[in-house]
Structure 1
Amino acid sequence: MASASLLPLGLFSGNLFGNNRITEGRSRRVTAQYLSLGVKSKGSQIVGYEDGSALVSRRVVIGLALSVSTLLFHSPNAESAGLPPQEIPRLCDDSCEKELENVPMVTTESGLQYKDIKVGSGPSPPVGYQVAANYVAMVPSGQVFDSSLEKRQVYIFRVGSGQVVKGLDEGILSMKVGGKRRLYVPGSSAFPKGLTSAPGRPRVAPSSPVIFDVSLEYIPGLDDEE
């Protein structure tokens, strides 16, 4: 089956705390509102009432602070922002990157540029045929914004029919099954309106050039005939 989408999920951002502030009095006690919750306690936790608000001791405040910090450490946004970046699977590893430095660049009339990581030995896809491919999509800095390898599912689409960006269509049409290629797609053949990224991934600016590492895995139907 085809991958659900070539595009990443939308980015969510929000202000967790807003402009709320905690203030201290001379006795280092904080006014806890929302008495309607009906919180009751013994001993020194609730020390009195003042103007319809409960005054709580520092011990309670510290407990509340620890609870908030626990929520922060377990929230998805905190994990995506604070944890070390996960290792992203690639079609071209470090040794491949070094070899690519010596591979000649091919430039087409549309402005698409590419380097063959590996030349395939199978057939090339005719226009309109479905192809099964793996891809890693990157911004010019090399940061990944989408990848079929992470989804663990090949991406199946009809090549040459406008189902993917123009540069990817053009680049795959001249590949052979079993081949791997790095495509340098100009902005005019990429995402004219740009793309919002998944959390922790770079955003693609409108008409920004992008890079695709792509491997042509097989051509459904055509491979079966041969």
Structure 2
Amino acid sequence: MHFLALALTALTATFTTTLAAASSDLGIEVTHPVECSRKTQSGDTVHMHYRGTLAADGAEFDASYKRGQPLVFKLGAGRVIKGWDQGLLDMCIGEKRTLTIPPEYGYGSRGVGPIPGGATLIFETELVGIDGVAKDEL
């Protein structure tokens, strides 16, 4: 079982853009920008590929790529950690971002599985799809 799913209950490219986040503590770095007519919104069912590592030592704790299946969830519904619900808004299909998620936007002081309490997390993310939204053909 991948560890991000536990939260369902409670890379840099040549061109890099940094987005302002809702919190100055949540880091959002666009590593593969994409233009589109429809970006992710709260309430969308999204399909995300990701690789999660610990900021402290770079240890990988989970990766959807290894399973060959993106994680599918409703964005903004509290089914994933707060850093994902906020950090994955306004993405285009095919876009990649690196999220730096402090503990208060991740698993807090409790930790989960191989993620220790108080850990800052790094997620390399890729939006693979949005239910009901076709990828723009540019």
TM-score (norm 1): 0.51
Match of 2:66 among 130, 150, 153: 150
Q: Which residue of 2 aligns with 1:115?
A: 29
| 1:118-147 Cα shifts (integer Å, max 9, x gaps) | 112232112111001101011002221001
Deviating runs (4+, > 3 A) in structure 1? 4-9, 103-107
Q: Does the Cα contact within 8 Å between 1:186 and 1:210 map onto a contact in 2? A: yes
Query: 1:168 touches 1:212 (CA, 8 Å); kept in 2?
Result: no
| RCO comparison, higher one (Cα < 8 Å, 6+) | 2
Between the aligned residues of both structures, percent identity stands at 27
**Corresponding residue for residue 115 of structure 2:** 204
Match of 1:194 in 2: 111
Q: Contact 1:8–1:146 at 8 Å: present in 2 too?
A: no
Unmatched segments (≥5 aa) in structure 2: none
Please point out which of 164, 182, 186 is paired with 2:80. 164
1:15-34 deviations in Å (ceiling 9; x for gaps): xxxxxxxxxxxxxxxxxxxx
Structure 1 pair 109–173 and aligned structure 2 pair: CA distance change class (3 A): closer
Identify the structure with the greater strand proportion. 2
Structure 1 counterpart of 2:41, one-letter code: P
**Structure 1 residues 18-167: aligned runs within 5 Å:** 92=11, 96=12, 99=14, 103=16, 105-110=18-23, 111-122=25-36, 123-140=38-55, 141-167=57-83
> Aligned Cα RMSD in Å?
2.5
- Displacement of 1:105 in angstroms is 4.1
Give the Cα–Cα distance (whole angstroms) in 1 for the partners of residues 129 and 5 of structure 2: 24
TM-score norm. by structure 2 comes to 0.80
Number of matched pairs: 128
Tell me the alpha carbon deviations over residues 5-53 of structure 1, each in whole angstroms, 9 at most, x when there is no partner. 44489xxxxxxxxxxxxxxxxxxxxxxxxxxxxxxxxxxxxxxxxxxxx
Contact persistence 1:160–1:170 (CA under 8 A): yes
SS in 1 for 2:111: coil
Partner of 2:89: 173
- Unmatched segments (≥5 aa) in structure 1: 10-91, 197-202
Does 2:134 align with 1:223?
Answer: yes
- 2:4 touches 2:80 (CA, 8 Å); kept in 1? no
Tell me which amino acid in the other structure corresponds to 1:108. A
Q: 1:170 to 1:109 in 2, by over 3 A?
A: closer
